[in-house]
Chains A and B, each alone.
Chain A
């Protein structure tokens, strides 16, 4: 074993003249991690710390800098919900290379999820959504670590789940629990990126600790949720989750939330996009 793992990894790197960066492939990284007793996510962090770009993340350059990618690989996100929003959010956050993602959902897949939920399939009906997400991410994004919590978060376990988290992505369905999530996140000093959908409608907004924005929407009971009337369409869920992922990743890189105290409304029946001020 080399005394300096970083130097050992650098010896495996290849120069990419087109992008002006040194890269390391998955196979080399796996061999390196095996030799040094590291997990692949740990190995990926060693690589970016040495300014070596793991090939699975190469196309994140140069929209992201090497330093940005290093921040993401060291970041931690709590994703609450692995359904319509959460499945796509998990896909995007893991493919971005967000190093540690905890995904929580106590629900199991049912047939009516198949019109929109990325993680659902005809052969995993009845299986837990969070575990299905972690399983998929382990195949698509081996450089990140995804932990599944196969139970619903509530006031009794939120505090533990929020420990050491940089940002929360609220991908919950329904209204009832969303305020409690914000209260706990606010107490933990963690911002929340939320979204909700109904039919062709997608809403996305962020809240800093102590700030009330989009969650103004979520008082009262689930009975008045427009989703119960309009259902939920795949493009609205996918778009809302994409916006959440972009917002969360930009926060992890820059520390700024573009939608803090605001709400972006997309009406995909008319292609109208409007920003509202809620702060």
Chain B
């Protein structure tokens, strides 16, 4: 299945080329992270299709995933 992934702020360089990853059925956000060169500790917020989600969420074909680190600057 094809998943659109966007990594933001300090994680921006980890967005996949072209913005898409091909993953096996049953993949979760967490099992996808090594493909991005990221670990669970790098991620503070996970969004799937703009809704708050978690690393354990199972992905579906066409999902749009957004990954944020902690951002606290003022």
Contacts and interface: CB of A to CB of B under 8 A. Distances in A.
Q: Tell whether A and B belong to one assembly.
A: yes
Interface of A: 81, 83-86, 171-175, 178, 195-199, 201, 203, 216-220, 222, 224-227, 229-230, 232, 237, 265, 267, 269, 274-279
Dominant secondary structure at the B interface: mixed
A216 B70 CA distance: 9
A277 B52 contact: yes
A226 B74 contact: no
Given A174-B72, A178-B72, A226-B73, A217 B45 contact: yes
Interface string B57-69: 0000000001011
A49 B32 CA distance: 60
Nearest to A213: B52
A218 to B, nearest CB: 6
B70 A217 contact: yes
A84 B12 CA distance: 23
Given A171-B74, A216-B45, A230 B10 contact: yes
28 contacts: A84-B73, A84-B74, A86-B74, A172-B72, A173-B72, A173-B73, A196-B72, A197-B73, A198-B10, A201-B9, A201-B71, A216-B52, A218-B70, A218-B72, A219-B44, A224-B69, A226-B69, A226-B71, A226-B72, A229-B10, A230-B73, A237-B74, A265-B8, A276-B47, A276-B51, A276-B52, A277-B52, A278-B52
Contacts of A216: 45, 52
Nearest to B64: A274
A115 B68 CA distance: 25
Nearest to A279: B52
Nearest to B50: A276
Contacts of A219: 44
Contacts of B73: 84, 173-174, 196-198, 225-227, 230, 232, 237
Given A172-B74, A203-B71, 16 more contacts: A178-B72, A196-B73, A196-B74, A198-B9, A201-B9, A220-B44, A222-B72, A224-B44, A224-B69, A225-B71, A226-B72, A227-B71, A227-B72, A275-B50, A277-B50, A278-B52
A225 B71 CA distance: 5
Contacts of B44: 217, 219-220, 224
Interface string B37-53: 00000001101001110
